[in-house]
Amino acid sequence: MIFYNATIITMNPRREIISRGALAVTGNRIVAIGESQQLFDQFREKKRINCNGNILLPGLIDTHVHTAQCMLRGISEGKSLDGLSDWLVTRTWPLQGSYTEADARASAALCVLEMLKSGTTGFIECLLAGIYGFDNIAEVCLQSGIRAALGRVVMDITPEQKDQLRMHPGMYETREECINGALTAHDRWENAGNGRIQVWFGCRSVGDGNNPTLYEEVGLLSRKRNMGITIHMSEQQSDIAYAKKLGYDSLTEFVHDRGLLGPRTVLAHFCVSTEKEWHLAASTGTSVSHCPANNSTIGWSPAPVTEMLAAGVNVSLGVDSTPSNSNMDLLRDLRIASHVARMAHRTRNVMPSETILEMATINGARAMGIDDQVGSIEVGKKADFIIINTDSPNLTPVWNPVASVVFASQGNDVDMVVIDGQIIMQGRKVLTMNEEEILDDVRTRYLQVARRAGVSEIGPRWPIIKLS
């Protein structure tokens, strides 16, 4: 196929932007980039797709996602919520803990559908619990055509700690169950879908009181099998207090001592991280997933993104989840990444659109360990890209395509998605998933889950008048 007549933001090492460019795809690879007529002459037999002057760029990579929470959109606002963690402990966990495998599958399908429709072509799932049914969710990803690193949850806490944390029984698993579950999933799914699927360890937070030897075992297994690891890290002040109890200045230092840091590790949030932690992340090649929309919704302190980038940390972007963010639209969140940093520094001279786009594409690919394959439009790389339709009021005119993508576009502007050389979405229709069925399935399930979980009182603070 030849995709022609596009403004191509390549994200190549020279960060070139090609005006009225074209690219040719053979199989799953980009084989040529250049001027349209030149490519027509070179590949006479190839099907041609006119991009109508729209913007073509690498697919976005979301490095922090909770697929199971997608069905819980909106639950953490409104009445009956008091404390900071109420939304998690009294809403999210009981609901998730009451899922059947079919519920988790429905939520994951909704999540993947929303990500594809907003230009995300690859993601890291951080906490897939045993009750969700790993195989079902891997199957959803496989069929949808998306790239996914699926973090299977691992924990090692006592039943007493579980009660103290108010963790729902449905979400509790023994260390043995978790590790075996992760290794079985790795044996079965690693590299499925032409290498699109990876299986990772999704470590529960250190602050949950996990046995320290868990992290040693995960570190060892990760190196032995080259499995990725992701973990929530340095989110709030309470994490620092917990680190002090363990005899450390930070939980990053605690996990580093247990061999958990390295190029296959992604630390999510890092809001209260210190200079020492940035240098540890940079020197070990550890990536960070910055989730600005989630952090600002919850009211956490702004992550020190500019400082982390200056220290040489590979910082990528994450949407996180719908209870804490409401959408899985990473394109919408790009501007928030800039807003949050500029407010924190009280200047517009930080976090330019170019930096944000690097975080959402090539840095995300590096976090997933696939920056040699995707994350930029280059000859020889896999064809993972999106086309943003600029024929709309919010994207007219385009003075600066990078600024338009980062500050003016949103998920609904994505017109086409190509992953591994396959057209996954065209004219906003996802060709690999049945959108109507997925939405209907979630609409019939979400209230059933609430009833099973015994969670009520979800809604606005204002009265709802039911008219018959």
Name the site residues for Zn ion (rule: CB under 5 A).
Answer: 320
CA distance 314 to 285: 7
140 vs 298, beta carbon nearer Zn ion: 298
8 vs 115, beta carbon nearer Zn ion: 115
Q: Do 71 and 446 contact (CB within 8 A), yes or no?
A: yes
**How far apart are CB 321 and Zn ion at their closest, in Å?**
6
Give Cα 34 distance to the centre of its chain: 31
**How far apart are CB 64 and Zn ion at their closest, in Å?**
6
**How far apart are CB 374 and Zn ion at their closest, in Å?**
23
Residue that the structure tokens 């079902």 belong to = 136
**How far apart are CB 80 and Zn ion at their closest, in Å?**
23
Q: Token pair of 296, please?
A: 């600002």
CA distance 3 to 245: 57
CA distance 119 to 360: 11
DSSP state of 89: I
Decide the pairing of beta strands 29-35 and 422-426: unpaired
33 vs 150, beta carbon nearer Zn ion: 150
71 vs 430, beta carbon nearer Zn ion: 71
Residue that the structure tokens 């992550």 belong to = 303
Decide the pairing of beta strands 2-9 and 17-26: antiparallel
Q: Do 75 and 92 contact (CB within 8 A), yes or no?
A: yes
CA distance 325 to 344: 20
Residue 343 CB neighbour total at 10 angstroms: 11
**How far apart are CB 75 and Zn ion at their closest, in Å?**
15
Question: Which of left, alpha, beta for 341 (phi over 0: left; psi -120 to 50: alpha)?
Answer: alpha
Q: Which residue has the CB atom at the shortest distance from Zn ion?
A: 320
CA dihedral (385, 266, 371, 8) positive or negative? positive
Which residue blocks in 248-380 are alpha helix, DSSP H? 251-257, 275-284, 292-298, 305-310, 322-325, 330-345, 353-360, 362-367
23 vs 298, beta carbon nearer Zn ion: 298
320 vs 413, beta carbon nearer Zn ion: 320
Strands (E) across 118-185 are located at: 120-128, 147-154
**How far apart are CB 463 and Zn ion at their closest, in Å?**
33
7 vs 210, beta carbon nearer Zn ion: 210
69 vs 389, beta carbon nearer Zn ion: 69
**How far apart are CB 268 and Zn ion at their closest, in Å?**
6
Longest dimension (CA), the chain: 70
**How far apart are CB 288 and Zn ion at their closest, in Å?**
13
330 vs 416, beta carbon nearer Zn ion: 330
Distances (CA, A) of 360 to 95, 120, 123, 318, 460: 30, 9, 11, 8, 33
**How far apart are CB 127 and Zn ion at their closest, in Å?**
7
Residue 215 CB neighbour total at 10 angstroms: 24
CA distance 144 to 149: 14
**How far apart are CB 328 and Zn ion at their closest, in Å?**
13
75 vs 406, beta carbon nearer Zn ion: 75
